[in-house]
Amino acid sequence: MSDIIQVGVFAGMSRGALEGYRAQLQAALIELGTGQKAVTVAYSQGTGARNVTFAPTDDEKIRGLIRQINAALGISRGARSVVFR
């Protein structure tokens, strides 16, 4: 199996890079779910004020990107159903 993704939106990227991005997205999803991700941060100190604004996102956007990366890496989407006969 090649170390470089050959098709799709991630074509040309290495498997290692995609695995790293997936880990970052999973951490961001946890932080978002636990309220640790700030959207706007502002403070004032002595002579001036500072503001930093991050682009807001939601968990479905993050989950969607994780699914796309998993598909590019050939990782199946979770457990398969079990049928008893």
The predicted structure's pLDDT at residue 53: 80
Where in the chain are the domains? 15-73
Burial class, 69, CB count within 10 angstroms (exposed 0-12 / middle 13-18 / buried 19+): buried
pTM higher than 0.75: no
The predicted structure's pLDDT at residue 68: 94
Position 25 confidence tier, pLDDT thresholds 50, 70, 90: very high
Q: Name 65's Cβ contacts closer than 8 Å, sequence gap at least 6.
A: 25
Instruction: With a cut of 70, say whether residue 55 has pLDDT above it.
Output: yes
Q: If you average pLDDT over residues 74-85, what whole number do you get?
A: 75
